[in-house]
Amino acid sequence: MYTGLKHLHSYFAYLLLAALVFSIVYTIIQFVGKKSFTEKVRKVALIGFIATHLQLLIGLILYLISPVGLSNFSGEAMSESLSRLYILEHPLMMLLGIVLVTVGYIKAKKPGDDARRFRTVIIYYGLGLILMLSRIPWSEWL
């Protein structure tokens, strides 16, 4: 079960990154083209929102059952960079990135100025993506 979840988490990360990049690029194109914030734009942003939350669910389950996750948490493990990445840095940065995406989606759903709604998605999703990219264990990624 652990190996299957680990692979699912790793491969779904590609879909998550693609969904976030697609959401950001589509929103930028609509914003630059001075289009209105339509239901289609909201649904494109929803794709990134859903992907981040599915990845969070898979990641939380993996964190709880993984031998390098919560069960490995100790002061001793904090001195080792790879262990610290898996125990603290990766989960914390991913959680912060997901919070940014969530806040961006919720704020963009509220009625108001279209330009503000576009900027909200672009800024929050972009910052969330940057945080996520900063703590992906690239050397260990499948």
Query: pLDDT tens digits, the chain, 142 residues: what are they?
Result: 889 999 999 999 999 999 999 999 999 999 999 999 999 999 999 999 999 999 999 999 999 998 888 777 777 878 888 888 888 999 999 999 999 999 999 999 999 999 999 999 999 999 999 999 999 988 776 5
Closest to 123 in 3D by CA, of 38, 34, 45, 50: 45
Tokens linked to 65: 């059952």
**pLDDT value of position 32:** 97
For residue 110, report the phi and psi dihedrals to the nearest 5 degrees: -70, 140
Is the separation of the CB atoms in 24 and 129 below 8 Å?
yes
**pLDDT value of position 75:** 76
